[in-house]
Amino acid sequence: FISGAGLLSILSVFVVFSLVTRNAIIQKQHPFRSHIDIYVVSLFVSNIFEGVFAAMSIKWVRTGIVECEAHCSAQGFLNLFGQTGVAMNTLAIAVHTFCAVFFRWDPPPSKILPLCVVACIWLYNLGFAIGYVVPSTYVPTPFWCSLPRNLIAARIFSQYLWLCLTIITSITLYIILFFSLRGNIQITSGGKWYRHKFSISRATSRRPTGMPSLRVEDPHLSTPVRSAAKKMLWYPIAYVIISLPAVVIRFGVLKDGVSSQSIPFERLAPWYCLVNGAGVVNVVLFTLTRPKILLFKGGEQEDERAEYGGRNHRTSYSETPPISPMSLELKAIS
């Protein structure tokens, strides 16, 4: 089942890439129009590595034993690129979305920032993967191949740290964003993002007199706001459901006196099916909640600066803004 989940994940991502390629050819434009496009492609590539890692376990099913050999080293190598890459790219997407919506950050037209972030992600994983594949460090653990139990620091910094950091950060940021969209968090502009002032209030229509404020809720848009917030909350919910059980099991293995061999495979299989099938979940989430990215819909893709209320759609700080900022922000998360 774990291998099947990996194969299904690979197939889902390849179908998306095929559609994107077809739409790019038909429209005669490249699909990388925004920062989020680059992060999503990097995430999907990580899902492919994760799926290949799971699919390689088919050999162990056929032979009935996991052995230390070239196949084992290759599987351990891909394991670092897969799950860690998915976690780090998910974290990048969460931070990017939060900054763009909460701080009204205007993503620059240049793609240097997302390219640098993605490059750092892959170089980080490559360093760990190559560093341990050369001396053939990967061993059976016991149902597939990964870093041995005695390399606790390596396992933490190559995988567990990023899995936990992504879970905690995603939940925290999206909870803050949810209350911001509801109007419980009032944002007072201070020019730069680090000069913004925040206040918590039950009322959504009041603001301090004499101070410019970014209104985060319009009474006429309460239903769309709730709908947008619910869409965004699917990201941390899905990632937590997929990753948290497997992370708990892994930290349990690290405890003294707990051996991975002592954990029945039946207890591991359901959770690792979810982890290795994350590509399917990511494809469904992004196509349903963010259909404009990567030319998914096959229509004209809007520039991210316009979607987030960027350079061409500046947020008004006047006492009675002609257009509610939220009407612009909703486009960024739809």
Could you tell me if 5 and 277 are in contact, meaning their C-beta atoms sit under 8 angstroms apart?
yes
pLDDT, one tens digit per residue, over 280-318 is 888 888 888 777 777 666 555 544 544 444 444 433 333
Per-residue pLDDT for 245 more than 80?
A: no
pLDDT at 298: 55
What local confidence, expressed as pLDDT, does residue 119 receive? 96
DSSP string of 202-265?
A: S-SS---TTS-EE----GGGHHHHHHHHHHHHHHHHHHHHHHHHHHHHHHHHHSTT--GGGS-H
pLDDT of residue 121: 95
This prediction's pTM: 0.78
Q: How confident is the model at residue 267 (pLDDT cuts 50, 70, 90)?
A: low
pLDDT at residue 142 greater than cutoff 80: no
Stretch 26-47: mean pLDDT: 87
Nearest to 79 by CA among 276, 250, 242: 276
- Judged by average pLDDT, the poorest of 102-111, 221-230, 264-273, 317-326 is 317-326
The predicted-structure confidence for 113-122, as pLDDT tens digits, reads as follows 999 999 999 9
Q: Which is more confident, 310 or 11?
A: 11
Domains and CATH numbers, the chain: 2-333 (1.20.1070.10)
Say how far apart CA 19 and CA 316 lie, in whole Å.
38
Task: HSE, CB side, 13 Å, CA atoms: give it for residue 95.
Answer: 15
Cis omega (within 30 of 0) on the bond before 142?
yes
pLDDT at 123: 93
* Residue 333: band (very low, low, confident or very high) from pLDDT cuts 50, 70, 90: very low
Q: Mean pLDDT across the chain, nearest whole number?
A: 73
State pLDDT tens for residues 199-226.
777 644 444 444 444 444 434 334 554 5
